């Protein structure tokens, strides 16, 4: 993922959620042990394409945010690079 003026302008127009999806797709190409964890927010987090492209690198843990962090910690302790995403009120 190249971070330059052109990319930043594009990201600023599509928003942070779509940018997260683009970043995750790019990172998955470069990081074999990447895992993306969500709590029932793949669509709103911009991760639908990632979920379809890399189902083996994606876990949806349902509405269980605290559990997601525990799973992420376990994966990280096993040398996975983990991205977690959710939203809270």
pLDDT (tens digit per residue) in 72-88: 999 999 999 999 998 76
For 47-67, write each residue's pLDDT tens digit: 999 999 999 999 999 999 999
Q: What is the torsional sign of CA 9, 43, 41, 56?
A: negative
Domain count, the chain: 1
Domain span at 69: 5-85
pTM above 0.95, yes or no: no
Reported as a pLDDT band with limits 50, 70 and 90, residue 12 is confident
Tokens 């990081």 belong to residue? 31
Q: How far apart are CA 9 and CA 70, in angstroms?
A: 35
Taking residues 20-40, report their average pLDDT: 94
Answer for the pair 42, 60: CB distance below 8 angstroms, yes or no: yes
Q: How far apart are CA 19 and CA 29, in angstroms?
A: 16
What is the chain's length? 89
- Give me the CATH number covering residue 12: 3.40.50.970
Per-residue model confidence (pLDDT) at position 43: 83
Taking residues 9-18, report their average pLDDT: 80
């Amino acid at each position: 993922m190249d971070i330059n003026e052109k990319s930043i302008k594009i990201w600023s127009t599509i928003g942070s959620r779509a940018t997260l999806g683009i970043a995750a797709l790019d990172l998955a190409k470069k990081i074999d042990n990447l895992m993306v964890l969500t709590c029932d927010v793949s669509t709103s987090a911009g991760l639908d394409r990632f979920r379809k492209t890399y189902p083996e690198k994606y876990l949806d843990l349902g509405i269980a945010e605290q559990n997601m962090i525990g799973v992420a910690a376990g994966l990280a302790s096993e040398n996975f690079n983990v991205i977690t995403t959710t939203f809270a009120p």
